Amino acid sequence: MVDVVMIRTYEQSKIERFAEYSRVPVINGLTNEYHPCQILADIFTYIEQRGSIEGRTVAWIGDSNNVCRTWLQAAEVLGFQVHVSTPPGYEIDGGRATGVGAARYRQFADPREACRDADLVTTDVWTSMGYESENEARRKAFAGWRVDAELMRAARPDALFMHCLPAHRGEEVTAEVIDGPSSVVWEEAENRLHAQKALLEVLLLGTID
């Protein structure tokens, strides 16, 4: 009875199973493993602000979560680099980065090194949906992975800051950064709407203006 289905759920396997039996397009609205709609909006925002993302460097600081993994997939498709820095024990799970060439991403123990000369610095909450029971342990483990002015200074002078929101000021990002001149989080949030309209247009009409 519907033309498109969008599902926000937990395990990626659930959405893949649903899609196997669906006669209409199924959009991943977020799973534990991936968040493609967010990355469509983020890349659209980057292009709007700075032009092509090809050949650029994106620094991902914090949890190697659904958003981070999808940045890696996009890097493979669009030809840019991702520098990932996570606390020990929270590194990218090799299996989940399958299909992403090693040339497209590098892991850094030190978040400052990951941000060096980056064109975009981005992060996310330390505890994603479904992992709330790990909250206390994560707050301790991630304390050195807060995006602050010092990390932004390691990036290029015109580097942007993005966050998929909602953010916790003072946890994964300082107020100075998220409310500062490099931050494009509100443009990014608005672009979720426009990117998703474009996605529906492509899925329903097979074309985009």
The CA distance from 158 to 186, in Å, is 18
Residue nearest to ligand NVA according to CB distances in the complex: 128
The CA distance from 86 to 170, in Å, is 17
Contacting range for ligand NVA; rule: CB under 6 A; set: 7-15, 59-67, 111-119, 139-147: 59-67
**Interaction of residue 129 with ligand NVA, rule CB under 6 A:** yes
User: Is 104 or 192 the residue whose CB approaches ligand NVA more closely?
Assistant: 192
Q: Is 57 within 8 Å of 80 (Cβ atoms)?
A: yes
Q: Which residues pair with 5 in a beta bridge?
A: 26
**Coil, strand or helix at 122:** strand
# binding residues, ligand NVA (CB under 6 A): 10
**Interaction of residue 45 with ligand NVA, rule CB under 6 A:** no
User: Is 84 or 125 the residue whose CB approaches ligand NVA more closely?
Assistant: 125
Binding map of ligand NVA across residues 21-40, x = CB under 6 A, - = no contact: ---------x----x-----
User: Is 41 or 159 the residue whose CB approaches ligand NVA more closely?
Assistant: 41
Q: Which residues contact 76 (CB under 8 A, 6 or more apart)?
A: 99, 100, 101, 104
Contacting range for ligand NVA; rule: CB under 6 A; set: 12-20, 76-84, 121-129, 142-150: 121-129
User: Is 153 or 169 the residue whose CB approaches ligand NVA more closely?
Assistant: 169
Contacting range for ligand NVA; rule: CB under 6 A; set: 73-81, 82-90, 124-132, 153-161: 124-132
Q: Is 66 within 8 Å of 42 (Cβ atoms)?
A: no
Q: For the chain, where are the E strands, in sequence order? A: 5-8, 26-30, 57-61, 81-85, 105-108, 120-123, 160-163
**Minimum distance from residue 33 beta carbon to ligand NVA (Å):** 10
**Interaction of residue 6 with ligand NVA, rule CB under 6 A:** no
- Nearest 5°: phi and psi at 169? -55, 135
Residue type, 191: N
**Coil, strand or helix at 175:** helix
Q: What is the binding site for ligand NVA (CB under 6 A)?
A: 30, 35, 65-67, 124-125, 128-129, 164
**Residues identified as active-site:** 8, 35, 38, 124, 164, 192
